Structure 1
Amino acid sequence: MSNLDQARVASRSTETTRAALIKAATSVFAEYGYDGGSVRLITQRAMANQAAVNYHFGGKDGLYREVLIAATRAFEENAFLDPEELDALSPEDALRRYLHQFLLPLVKRDRVSRFLRIFAWESVQPSEVFSAFIANSPPRIFRLAERVVRRFLPHDASAEAVTFAMLWLAQQPMFFVRDAERLAQPPFSLKFDEDALERLVDTLAGLSLRGLSGV
Protein backbone atom coordinates (compact mmCIF):
# COMPACT_ATOMS: atom_id res chain seq x y z
CA MET A 1 0.00 0.00 0.00
CA SER A 2 1.38 3.39 -1.00
CA ASN A 3 1.84 6.24 1.45
CA LEU A 4 -1.08 8.05 -0.21
CA ASP A 5 -3.36 5.03 0.22
CA GLN A 6 -2.30 4.68 3.84
CA ALA A 7 -3.10 8.37 4.44
CA ARG A 8 -6.55 7.92 2.88
CA VAL A 9 -7.31 4.91 5.09
CA ALA A 10 -6.14 6.77 8.17
CA SER A 11 -8.28 9.78 7.21
CA ARG A 12 -11.38 7.62 6.77
CA SER A 13 -10.74 5.93 10.11
CA THR A 14 -10.34 9.32 11.80
CA GLU A 15 -13.61 10.64 10.34
CA THR A 16 -15.41 7.43 11.30
CA THR A 17 -14.26 7.78 14.90
CA ARG A 18 -15.24 11.46 14.99
CA ALA A 19 -18.72 10.74 13.62
CA ALA A 20 -19.20 7.84 16.07
CA LEU A 21 -18.31 10.09 19.00
CA ILE A 22 -20.81 12.78 17.95
CA LYS A 23 -23.53 10.17 17.47
CA ALA A 24 -22.84 8.56 20.85
CA ALA A 25 -22.62 11.94 22.57
CA THR A 26 -25.98 12.97 21.12
CA SER A 27 -27.59 9.87 22.58
CA VAL A 28 -25.90 10.20 25.98
CA PHE A 29 -26.58 13.92 26.39
CA ALA A 30 -30.22 13.37 25.40
CA GLU A 31 -30.57 10.74 28.12
CA TYR A 32 -28.60 12.39 30.93
CA GLY A 33 -28.04 16.04 30.03
CA TYR A 34 -24.65 17.70 29.83
CA ASP A 35 -23.79 17.28 33.53
CA GLY A 36 -24.87 13.65 33.70
CA GLY A 37 -23.43 12.62 30.35
CA SER A 38 -19.99 11.24 31.08
CA VAL A 39 -17.15 10.99 28.59
CA ARG A 40 -16.62 7.42 29.74
CA LEU A 41 -20.15 6.41 28.70
CA ILE A 42 -19.83 8.27 25.41
CA THR A 43 -16.56 6.55 24.49
CA GLN A 44 -17.97 3.17 25.48
CA ARG A 45 -20.91 3.61 23.12
CA ALA A 46 -18.67 4.93 20.36
CA MET A 47 -16.15 2.13 20.94
CA ALA A 48 -13.40 4.72 21.19
CA ASN A 49 -11.04 5.88 23.92
CA GLN A 50 -10.99 9.13 25.88
CA ALA A 51 -7.90 10.29 24.04
CA ALA A 52 -10.01 10.40 20.87
CA VAL A 53 -12.37 12.92 22.49
CA ASN A 54 -9.44 15.15 23.37
CA TYR A 55 -7.85 14.70 19.94
CA HIS A 56 -10.96 15.53 17.91
CA PHE A 57 -12.76 18.02 20.17
CA GLY A 58 -10.35 19.18 22.88
CA GLY A 59 -12.50 17.58 25.59
CA LYS A 60 -16.13 17.23 26.66
CA ASP A 61 -16.99 20.91 26.10
CA GLY A 62 -15.79 20.80 22.52
CA LEU A 63 -17.69 17.60 21.83
CA TYR A 64 -20.87 19.12 23.28
CA ARG A 65 -20.47 22.18 21.04
CA GLU A 66 -20.28 19.88 18.02
CA VAL A 67 -23.52 18.20 19.10
CA LEU A 68 -25.21 21.61 19.42
CA ILE A 69 -23.94 22.61 15.99
CA ALA A 70 -25.30 19.35 14.56
CA ALA A 71 -28.64 20.04 16.26
CA THR A 72 -28.90 23.50 14.75
CA ARG A 73 -27.99 22.15 11.31
CA ALA A 74 -30.54 19.32 11.59
CA PHE A 75 -33.35 21.69 12.55
CA GLU A 76 -32.57 23.96 9.61
CA GLU A 77 -32.13 21.18 7.07
CA ASN A 78 -35.20 19.17 8.10
CA ALA A 79 -37.34 22.32 8.48
CA PHE A 80 -39.56 20.26 10.75
CA LEU A 81 -41.43 23.43 11.71
CA ASP A 82 -41.34 26.09 9.02
CA PRO A 83 -41.68 29.75 10.13
CA GLU A 84 -43.64 30.73 7.01
CA GLU A 85 -45.98 27.80 7.55
CA LEU A 86 -46.66 29.02 11.08
CA ASP A 87 -47.43 32.52 9.80
CA ALA A 88 -49.99 31.12 7.34
CA LEU A 89 -51.96 29.47 10.16
CA SER A 90 -54.35 31.14 12.56
CA PRO A 91 -52.72 32.08 15.90
CA GLU A 92 -54.50 29.17 17.60
CA ASP A 93 -53.48 26.63 14.96
CA ALA A 94 -49.90 27.94 15.00
CA LEU A 95 -49.80 27.39 18.75
CA ARG A 96 -51.08 23.83 18.39
CA ARG A 97 -48.59 23.07 15.61
CA TYR A 98 -45.72 24.39 17.72
CA LEU A 99 -46.68 22.29 20.73
CA HIS A 100 -47.25 19.17 18.64
CA GLN A 101 -43.88 19.35 16.91
CA PHE A 102 -41.91 19.88 20.10
CA LEU A 103 -43.75 17.11 21.93
CA LEU A 104 -42.99 14.54 19.23
CA PRO A 105 -39.98 13.13 21.15
CA LEU A 106 -42.55 11.53 23.47
CA VAL A 107 -43.50 9.11 20.71
CA LYS A 108 -40.50 9.30 18.36
CA ARG A 109 -36.87 8.40 18.98
CA ASP A 110 -35.22 9.87 15.91
CA ARG A 111 -32.18 12.14 15.74
CA VAL A 112 -34.12 15.42 15.87
CA SER A 113 -36.03 14.17 18.92
CA ARG A 114 -32.76 13.52 20.73
CA PHE A 115 -31.62 17.06 19.99
CA LEU A 116 -34.88 18.40 21.42
CA ARG A 117 -34.32 16.41 24.59
CA ILE A 118 -30.89 17.99 24.97
CA PHE A 119 -32.49 21.45 24.81
CA ALA A 120 -35.06 20.29 27.36
CA TRP A 121 -32.27 19.34 29.77
CA GLU A 122 -30.70 22.74 29.29
CA SER A 123 -33.92 24.41 30.38
CA VAL A 124 -33.34 23.21 33.97
CA GLN A 125 -29.61 22.46 34.04
CA PRO A 126 -28.04 25.13 31.84
CA SER A 127 -24.39 24.56 31.02
CA GLU A 128 -21.84 27.26 30.32
CA VAL A 129 -21.18 25.68 26.93
CA PHE A 130 -24.85 25.98 25.96
CA SER A 131 -25.15 29.53 27.28
CA ALA A 132 -22.19 30.63 25.18
CA PHE A 133 -23.56 28.80 22.16
CA ILE A 134 -27.05 30.32 22.22
CA ALA A 135 -25.62 33.80 22.71
CA ASN A 136 -24.51 33.58 19.07
CA SER A 137 -27.09 31.13 17.72
CA PRO A 138 -30.46 31.02 19.56
CA PRO A 139 -32.02 27.52 19.30
CA ARG A 140 -34.91 27.18 16.88
CA ILE A 141 -37.34 26.26 19.66
CA PHE A 142 -36.98 29.76 21.13
CA ARG A 143 -37.11 31.61 17.83
CA LEU A 144 -40.28 29.77 16.83
CA ALA A 145 -41.85 30.29 20.25
CA GLU A 146 -41.28 34.02 19.85
CA ARG A 147 -42.91 33.90 16.43
CA VAL A 148 -45.99 32.23 17.92
CA VAL A 149 -46.42 34.45 20.98
CA ARG A 150 -46.10 37.65 18.96
CA ARG A 151 -49.38 36.67 17.27
CA PHE A 152 -51.13 37.04 20.62
CA LEU A 153 -49.36 40.09 22.03
CA PRO A 154 -50.15 43.76 21.37
CA HIS A 155 -48.08 45.32 18.59
CA ASP A 156 -46.49 47.65 21.10
CA ALA A 157 -45.53 44.87 23.55
CA SER A 158 -42.14 45.51 25.12
CA ALA A 159 -39.13 43.34 24.34
CA GLU A 160 -39.25 42.12 27.94
CA ALA A 161 -42.91 41.07 27.65
CA VAL A 162 -42.16 39.17 24.43
CA THR A 163 -39.20 37.42 26.06
CA PHE A 164 -41.23 36.44 29.12
CA ALA A 165 -44.01 34.99 26.97
CA MET A 166 -41.57 33.25 24.63
CA LEU A 167 -39.70 31.54 27.47
CA TRP A 168 -42.97 30.54 29.14
CA LEU A 169 -44.30 28.90 25.97
CA ALA A 170 -41.01 27.15 25.20
CA GLN A 171 -41.06 25.55 28.65
CA GLN A 172 -44.44 23.88 28.17
CA PRO A 173 -43.33 20.99 25.94
CA MET A 174 -39.80 20.90 27.36
CA PHE A 175 -40.97 19.69 30.77
CA PHE A 176 -42.75 16.64 29.36
CA VAL A 177 -39.95 15.78 26.93
CA ARG A 178 -37.23 16.05 29.57
CA ASP A 179 -39.07 14.07 32.27
CA ALA A 180 -40.89 11.51 30.11
CA GLU A 181 -39.29 8.51 31.85
CA ARG A 182 -40.03 9.83 35.33
CA LEU A 183 -43.62 10.70 34.37
CA ALA A 184 -44.11 7.13 33.18
CA GLN A 185 -43.45 5.88 36.74
CA PRO A 186 -45.80 6.05 39.76
CA PRO A 187 -47.46 8.16 40.98
CA PHE A 188 -48.08 9.65 37.51
CA SER A 189 -47.86 6.48 35.37
CA LEU A 190 -48.35 8.41 32.14
CA LYS A 191 -48.02 6.41 28.94
CA PHE A 192 -47.50 8.39 25.79
CA ASP A 193 -48.69 7.15 22.41
CA GLU A 194 -50.10 9.05 19.44
CA ASP A 195 -53.54 9.45 21.05
CA ALA A 196 -52.07 10.55 24.38
CA LEU A 197 -49.87 13.03 22.53
CA GLU A 198 -52.91 14.63 20.89
CA ARG A 199 -54.69 14.88 24.25
CA LEU A 200 -51.62 16.52 25.77
CA VAL A 201 -51.46 19.00 22.89
CA ASP A 202 -55.15 19.81 23.41
CA THR A 203 -54.61 20.38 27.12
CA LEU A 204 -51.48 22.51 26.79
CA ALA A 205 -52.97 24.49 23.90
CA GLY A 206 -56.04 25.28 25.99
CA LEU A 207 -53.96 26.38 28.95
CA SER A 208 -51.58 28.35 26.75
CA LEU A 209 -54.40 30.13 24.94
CA ARG A 210 -55.87 31.28 28.22
CA GLY A 211 -52.45 32.38 29.44
CA LEU A 212 -51.45 34.23 26.28
CA SER A 213 -54.85 35.86 25.90
CA GLY A 214 -54.42 37.42 29.31
CA VAL A 215 -51.00 38.92 28.56
Structure 2
Amino acid sequence: MLEAARGLFAERGFHNATVRDIAARANTNLASINYYFRSKDDLYREVLSHSFRKAVDADEFDDAPHDIGSREDRLKVFIRGLIPRSVEDGESDQHMRLLAWEMLSPTGALDHIEETEIKPHLERAKEIVRPFLASDASPMDLAAAALWLVGQCLIFRGLAERVRLGFMPVQTDADHAERLVALVTDLSLRGLVSKSL
Protein backbone atom coordinates (compact mmCIF):
# COMPACT_ATOMS: atom_id res chain seq x y z
CA MET A 1 0.00 0.00 0.00
CA LEU A 2 2.79 2.41 0.91
CA GLU A 3 4.57 1.87 -2.41
CA ALA A 4 1.37 2.32 -4.40
CA ALA A 5 0.55 5.49 -2.45
CA ARG A 6 4.11 6.76 -2.80
CA GLY A 7 3.96 6.31 -6.57
CA LEU A 8 0.63 8.10 -6.94
CA PHE A 9 1.50 10.95 -4.59
CA ALA A 10 4.79 11.41 -6.48
CA GLU A 11 2.97 11.47 -9.83
CA ARG A 12 -0.04 13.59 -8.87
CA GLY A 13 0.62 15.26 -5.55
CA PHE A 14 -1.47 14.88 -2.40
CA HIS A 15 -4.53 16.76 -3.65
CA ASN A 16 -4.82 14.96 -7.00
CA ALA A 17 -4.25 11.40 -5.79
CA THR A 18 -7.37 9.73 -4.45
CA VAL A 19 -7.52 6.96 -1.87
CA ARG A 20 -9.65 5.01 -4.34
CA ASP A 21 -6.87 5.21 -6.96
CA ILE A 22 -4.30 4.17 -4.36
CA ALA A 23 -6.42 1.15 -3.38
CA ALA A 24 -6.75 0.15 -7.03
CA ARG A 25 -3.01 0.44 -7.65
CA ALA A 26 -2.28 -1.57 -4.48
CA ASN A 27 -4.81 -4.23 -5.48
CA THR A 28 -6.60 -3.86 -2.19
CA ASN A 29 -9.91 -2.49 -1.04
CA LEU A 30 -10.62 0.96 0.30
CA ALA A 31 -11.53 -0.39 3.72
CA SER A 32 -8.06 -1.83 4.29
CA ILE A 33 -6.44 1.54 3.63
CA ASN A 34 -8.85 3.18 6.06
CA TYR A 35 -8.22 0.43 8.60
CA TYR A 36 -4.43 0.75 8.54
CA PHE A 37 -4.10 4.49 8.04
CA ARG A 38 -7.46 6.00 9.15
CA SER A 39 -7.27 8.90 6.69
CA LYS A 40 -5.62 10.12 3.53
CA ASP A 41 -3.67 12.65 5.64
CA ASP A 42 -2.28 9.88 7.88
CA LEU A 43 -1.42 7.75 4.85
CA TYR A 44 0.39 10.69 3.25
CA ARG A 45 2.42 11.40 6.40
CA GLU A 46 3.40 7.74 6.57
CA VAL A 47 4.37 7.77 2.88
CA LEU A 48 6.59 10.83 3.38
CA SER A 49 8.21 9.27 6.43
CA HIS A 50 8.74 5.95 4.64
CA SER A 51 10.13 7.73 1.58
CA PHE A 52 12.57 9.77 3.66
CA ARG A 53 13.82 6.68 5.46
CA LYS A 54 14.35 4.91 2.13
CA ALA A 55 16.06 7.94 0.62
CA VAL A 56 18.63 8.27 3.40
CA ASP A 57 18.96 4.53 3.95
CA ALA A 58 17.98 4.95 7.59
CA ASP A 59 18.83 1.31 8.31
CA GLU A 60 22.46 2.08 7.46
CA PHE A 61 22.50 4.71 10.23
CA ASP A 62 20.47 2.70 12.72
CA ASP A 63 22.69 -0.37 12.32
CA ALA A 64 25.97 1.55 12.47
CA PRO A 65 27.57 1.83 15.90
CA HIS A 66 27.55 5.42 17.13
CA ASP A 67 30.56 5.18 19.39
CA ILE A 68 33.11 2.87 17.79
CA GLY A 69 35.47 3.34 14.90
CA SER A 70 37.37 6.43 13.93
CA ARG A 71 35.70 9.73 13.11
CA GLU A 72 36.63 9.03 9.49
CA ASP A 73 34.88 5.64 9.59
CA ARG A 74 31.73 7.18 11.04
CA LEU A 75 31.82 9.87 8.35
CA LYS A 76 32.04 7.24 5.61
CA VAL A 77 29.11 5.26 7.02
CA PHE A 78 27.06 8.44 7.17
CA ILE A 79 27.89 9.32 3.56
CA ARG A 80 27.18 5.76 2.41
CA GLY A 81 23.66 6.11 3.78
CA LEU A 82 23.02 9.22 1.68
CA ILE A 83 24.63 8.32 -1.65
CA PRO A 84 22.13 6.47 -3.85
CA ARG A 85 23.09 2.86 -4.57
CA SER A 86 21.50 3.09 -7.99
CA VAL A 87 19.46 5.53 -10.02
CA GLU A 88 18.07 2.84 -12.27
CA ASP A 89 14.96 2.21 -10.19
CA GLY A 90 13.88 5.86 -9.99
CA GLU A 91 13.73 5.80 -6.16
CA SER A 92 15.54 9.11 -5.75
CA ASP A 93 13.46 10.74 -8.45
CA GLN A 94 10.24 9.59 -6.80
CA HIS A 95 11.36 10.96 -3.44
CA MET A 96 12.36 14.30 -4.96
CA ARG A 97 8.98 14.55 -6.71
CA LEU A 98 7.19 13.97 -3.42
CA LEU A 99 9.17 16.79 -1.83
CA ALA A 100 8.59 19.04 -4.85
CA TRP A 101 4.82 18.52 -4.62
CA GLU A 102 4.95 19.30 -0.93
CA MET A 103 6.87 22.53 -1.61
CA LEU A 104 4.47 23.57 -4.39
CA SER A 105 1.30 22.73 -2.52
CA PRO A 106 2.05 22.38 1.19
CA THR A 107 -0.15 20.11 3.28
CA GLY A 108 1.64 20.60 6.60
CA ALA A 109 2.84 16.99 6.54
CA LEU A 110 6.44 18.13 6.21
CA ASP A 111 6.25 19.63 9.71
CA HIS A 112 5.63 16.13 11.05
CA ILE A 113 8.48 14.70 8.94
CA GLU A 114 10.83 17.44 10.14
CA GLU A 115 10.22 16.39 13.74
CA THR A 116 10.23 12.62 13.28
CA GLU A 117 12.79 12.11 10.50
CA ILE A 118 14.75 15.20 9.44
CA LYS A 119 15.73 16.66 12.84
CA PRO A 120 17.05 13.34 14.19
CA HIS A 121 19.01 12.87 10.97
CA LEU A 122 20.53 16.35 11.25
CA GLU A 123 21.41 15.63 14.87
CA ARG A 124 23.26 12.55 13.63
CA ALA A 125 25.05 14.73 11.05
CA LYS A 126 26.10 17.06 13.87
CA GLU A 127 27.52 14.07 15.78
CA ILE A 128 29.50 13.14 12.68
CA VAL A 129 31.03 16.59 12.06
CA ARG A 130 31.58 17.63 15.71
CA PRO A 131 34.93 15.76 16.10
CA PHE A 132 36.30 17.63 13.08
CA LEU A 133 35.48 21.10 14.40
CA ALA A 134 37.23 23.17 17.01
CA SER A 135 36.05 22.43 20.53
CA ASP A 136 34.68 25.96 20.83
CA ALA A 137 32.73 25.83 17.55
CA SER A 138 29.45 27.69 17.86
CA PRO A 139 26.11 25.89 17.55
CA MET A 140 25.57 27.81 14.30
CA ASP A 141 28.88 26.58 12.86
CA LEU A 142 28.08 23.03 13.94
CA ALA A 143 24.64 23.17 12.28
CA ALA A 144 26.09 24.73 9.12
CA ALA A 145 28.79 22.06 8.87
CA ALA A 146 26.17 19.31 9.32
CA LEU A 147 23.95 20.81 6.61
CA TRP A 148 26.99 21.20 4.33
CA LEU A 149 27.84 17.52 4.75
CA VAL A 150 24.30 16.41 3.97
CA GLY A 151 24.24 18.71 0.94
CA GLN A 152 27.44 17.16 -0.44
CA CYS A 153 25.58 13.87 -0.68
CA LEU A 154 22.05 14.94 -1.53
CA ILE A 155 23.18 16.60 -4.74
CA PHE A 156 23.53 13.09 -6.17
CA ARG A 157 19.94 12.34 -5.23
CA GLY A 158 18.66 15.59 -6.68
CA LEU A 159 20.38 14.90 -9.98
CA ALA A 160 19.47 11.22 -10.05
CA GLU A 161 16.95 11.55 -12.87
CA ARG A 162 19.41 13.56 -14.97
CA VAL A 163 22.05 10.90 -14.35
CA ARG A 164 19.62 8.13 -15.27
CA LEU A 165 18.77 9.86 -18.54
CA GLY A 166 22.44 10.21 -19.38
CA PHE A 167 22.72 14.00 -19.06
CA MET A 168 25.24 13.85 -16.24
CA PRO A 169 28.53 11.98 -16.55
CA VAL A 170 28.41 10.63 -12.99
CA GLN A 171 27.60 6.97 -12.62
CA THR A 172 25.87 5.99 -9.40
CA ASP A 173 24.86 2.43 -10.21
CA ALA A 174 25.74 -0.38 -7.82
CA ASP A 175 29.15 -0.85 -9.46
CA HIS A 176 30.11 2.79 -8.95
CA ALA A 177 28.31 3.72 -5.72
CA GLU A 178 31.15 2.67 -3.41
CA ARG A 179 33.67 4.62 -5.48
CA LEU A 180 31.41 7.66 -5.23
CA VAL A 181 31.14 7.16 -1.45
CA ALA A 182 34.94 7.04 -1.23
CA LEU A 183 35.31 10.18 -3.35
CA VAL A 184 32.72 12.18 -1.38
CA THR A 185 34.24 10.95 1.89
CA ASP A 186 37.70 12.05 0.76
CA LEU A 187 36.48 15.48 -0.33
CA SER A 188 34.46 15.90 2.86
CA LEU A 189 37.46 14.94 4.98
CA ARG A 190 39.57 17.54 3.22
CA GLY A 191 36.95 20.21 3.89
CA LEU A 192 36.33 19.21 7.50
CA VAL A 193 39.97 18.74 8.42
CA SER A 194 40.95 22.09 6.92
CA LYS A 195 38.10 23.69 8.91
CA SER A 196 39.46 22.26 12.15
CA LEU A 197 42.99 23.61 11.59
Q: How large is the RMSD of aligned CA atoms in angstroms? A: 4.1
Give me the TM-score of the superposition, normalised by structure 2. Answer: 0.69
Indicate whether 1:102 and 2:82 are aligned. yes
Higher relative contact order (CA 8 A, sep 6+): 2
Please, which moves more after superposition, 185-194 or 85-94?
A: 185-194
Counterpart AA for 1:192: T
The runs of 5 or more residues in structure 1 that have no matched partner are 1-19
The runs of 5 or more residues in structure 2 that have no matched partner are none
Give me the TM-score of the superposition, normalised by structure 1. Answer: 0.64
Indicate whether 1:58 and 2:39 are aligned. yes
Distance 1:84 1:202, change over 3 A: closer
| Alignment match, 1:87 | 67
Counterpart AA for 2:60: F
CA displacement at 1:188 relative to structure 2: 1.7
How far apart, in 2, do the equivalents of 1:120 and 1:157 lie? Answer: 36
Aligned partner (choices 136, 152, 156) of residue 115 of structure 2: 136
| Alignment match, 2:173 | 193
What is the number of residues matched between the two proteins?
Answer: 187
Counterpart AA for 2:108: V
Q: 1:112-191 maps to which residues of 2 (within 5 A)?
A: 118=95, 122=99, 126=103, 127-139=106-118, 140-191=120-171
Distance 1:74 1:131, change over 3 A: closer
Q: State the secondary structure of the residue aligned to 1:155.
A: coil
Distance 1:189 1:84, change over 3 A: closer
